[in-house]
Structure 1
Amino acid sequence: MSRKPAAPVQSGNHTKKLAELTCEKIEMRIIEMDWPVGKVIGSEAELLAEYGVSRAAFREAIRLLEHHNVAYMRRGPGGGLVVAEPDPDAMAHAAAVYLRYRKVNPPDLFEARTALELAAVRSAAENIDEAGIVKLRGALAHESEFLGGESDATIHDFHVVVAELSGNPALHLFVNVLTQLSAARFLGTTAMYDKQAARSVSSAKEVEEVHHAHEVIAEAIVAGDTSLAQHRMLKHLNALAAAAAGE
């Protein structure tokens, strides 16, 4: 009696490689579709047939997609692989962790911050509208709660708001990354994980100086004065760089 040959056994490494390739293919497909958040791009059975991989490799690919906030599997009627909206804070945090691993030093950190934030403040001043003014004032109002006492890491969020108002997603992301690192420099590593738990040891005078610097930068942005906004931002960043270096 002839015996049917056994199916080849896939090694763990082979399954992992197939999962990574499948994840990349699905990511490229979503990008080519112009990232339609909320759209179901196929059921598990349909996608298994389309990509021709084992169930184990496919489910590992889905795990990777979910970890990257690219897509997630929704169960039940009408379910399937759903396009997700990536979390910019998660992306910024991952990049900040990598730069901590690379031991980025304060001079390099503030060199990058200066280049990015001068571009961001210029664009913010050029593009400011009523909604942006409200957002800036909201950031300043939050900071004012720290006057006379210690602050937490959210006092650095003013810079992220300015970058957001530039209208440039790349500036917004990278300023967020570098601001997280700066906050960790001043307040400790906790600032990268829980902004409100990281408390400042700065004096009330130092908190007031930071808040005043933010206020005058905001004034120049609201006035649409790009040169003055950049001048004030540069002065503020230079002061922060000197403080980070312990000068």
Structure 2
Amino acid sequence: MTQNTGGRGLPIIYHPDNPIYTADKTSDAKRQPKASEVTAASIVSDIVRLGLKVGDRLPAEVDMLAQYPVSRETLREALRILEVQGMIALKRGPGGGPFVSALNASYLARTATLYFHLSGATYDEVFDTWETIEPQLTAKVARISDKHLKERAFARFLGYQIDEHDETEVFSDLNNFHAVIAELSGNRVLTLITQAITHIVVEHVLNADEPVTQQSHLNDEHIDIAQAIIAGRPRKASTLMQEHIADVVENYRSRYPDRSSELVQWR
């Protein structure tokens, strides 16, 4: 992929196999947001401002119409936008309505895969991004001075026994190990980006691999990484994470040599 200014100082990104490009023509081509998008943004701002928590119910439609000066159709479209993005859940029937949902990076991952697909990005590039970001994030977490905090966060993984759980539980738990590292970083942007990338790796790649219950070495590698993080050894933790990711990627490439060069799919 190369970058060109298009002769006007505007960043244009080209891909040799996909001539789609984008330019930041903010001066004369920026689309004005629709009323439903503006309303959706206002609702999100109010959720943050009011400190609403997961499971909290938003006001009834009649109250929201009084709060946001838009039509019923526009308000409902705004709520559908937030539902599609996973920000709220719309429950039907008695006691229903819009409720605040937990942030889920899978929605960010799905949007990202659309952009990745259109840009011509491959799974090899997703692997490269994973190998670039998470070892550095692991080192950052290892530098946390609160050892007890790290011990509590990784306690469930240190004594984990794969043969005591079914396939679905093992897969979820091994994936959650990476989520814990992201959350401990204290950087919400890095957390969401890292979780989105690992979600793509897990859902698009690892689900196609051999059963995780047959990969006890992954659990052993997680234990080694956790111990290095708890001990406050950032360089070792980073190296172990890099080797762990390389192990996962190499195993996948050896089993499916042609798939890693495929375009990232939007899903």
TM-score normalised per structure 1:
0.67
Residue in 2 that maps onto 1:132: 150
- More contact order relative to length (CA 8 Å, sep ≥ 6): 2
Residue in 1 that maps onto 2:207: 187
Residue in 2 that maps onto 1:200: 210
Residue in 2 that maps onto 1:98: 114
Cα gap change, 1:45 to 1:105, in 2 (>3 Å): same
- Within 5 Å, which residues of 2 pair with 1:76-115? 84-95=100-111, 97-98=113-114, 101-102=117-118, 104-115=121-132
Cα distance in 2 between the residues matched to 1:138 and 1:238: 24
- Deviation at residue 223 of structure 1 after TM alignment: 0.6
Residue in 2 that maps onto 1:5: none
Cα distance in 2 between the residues matched to 1:239 and 1:108: 16
Cα distance in 1 between the residues matched to 2:167 and 2:56: 45
Cα distance in 2 between the residues matched to 1:245 and 1:224: 32
Residue in 2 that maps onto 1:141: 159
RMSD, aligned CA:
3.9
User: What secondary structure is seen at the aligned counterpart in 1 of 2:210?
Assistant: coil
Cα gap change, 1:72 to 1:237, in 2 (>3 Å): closer
- Deviation at residue 99 of structure 1 after TM alignment: 6.4
Contact 2:141–2:229 (CA<8 Å) still a contact in 1?
A: yes
Residue in 2 that maps onto 1:12: none
Residue in 1 that maps onto 2:252: 244
User: What secondary structure is seen at the aligned counterpart in 1 of 2:125?
Assistant: helix
* Structure 2: 5+ residue stretches without partners: 1-32, 258-267
| Structure of larger gyration radius | 1
- Within 5 Å, which residues of 2 pair with 1:55-74? 55-70=72-87
Aligned residues: 215
Residue in 2 that maps onto 1:210: 218
Aligned counterpart in structure 2 of residue 53 of structure 1, from 70, 79, 83: 70
Contact 2:105–2:199 (CA<8 Å) still a contact in 1?
A: no
- Deviation at residue 185 of structure 1 after TM alignment: 0.9
* Structure 1: 5+ residue stretches without partners: 1-15, 189-198
User: What secondary structure is seen at the aligned counterpart in 1 of 2:143?
Assistant: helix
Match status 1:225 vs 2:219: no
User: What secondary structure is seen at the aligned counterpart in 2 of 1:156?
Assistant: helix
User: What secondary structure is seen at the aligned counterpart in 2 of 1:245?
Assistant: helix
User: What secondary structure is seen at the aligned counterpart in 1 of 2:186?
Assistant: coil
- Deviation at residue 112 of structure 1 after TM alignment: 1.1
Cα gap change, 1:70 to 1:235, in 2 (>3 Å): closer
> 1:209-247: per-residue Cα shift (whole Å, max 9, x none)?
222222211111111011111111112222222223227
Cα gap change, 1:180 to 1:140, in 2 (>3 Å): farther
Contact 1:122–1:226 (CA<8 Å) still a contact in 2?
A: yes
Between Structure 1 and Structure 2, the one with more helix by share is 1
Cα gap change, 1:115 to 1:130, in 2 (>3 Å): same
- Deviation at residue 124 of structure 1 after TM alignment: 1.4
Contact 1:106–1:241 (CA<8 Å) still a contact in 2?
A: no
Aligned counterpart in structure 2 of residue 117 of structure 1, from 109, 121, 134: 134
Match status 1:18 vs 2:35: yes
Contact 1:100–1:181 (CA<8 Å) still a contact in 2?
A: no
How high is the sequence identity, in percent, across the aligned residues? 23
Match status 1:169 vs 2:188: yes
Cα gap change, 1:22 to 1:45, in 2 (>3 Å): same
Residue in 2 that maps onto 1:153: 171
User: What secondary structure is seen at the aligned counterpart in 1 of 2:140?
Assistant: helix
Q: Which amino acid aligns with 1:240?
A: V
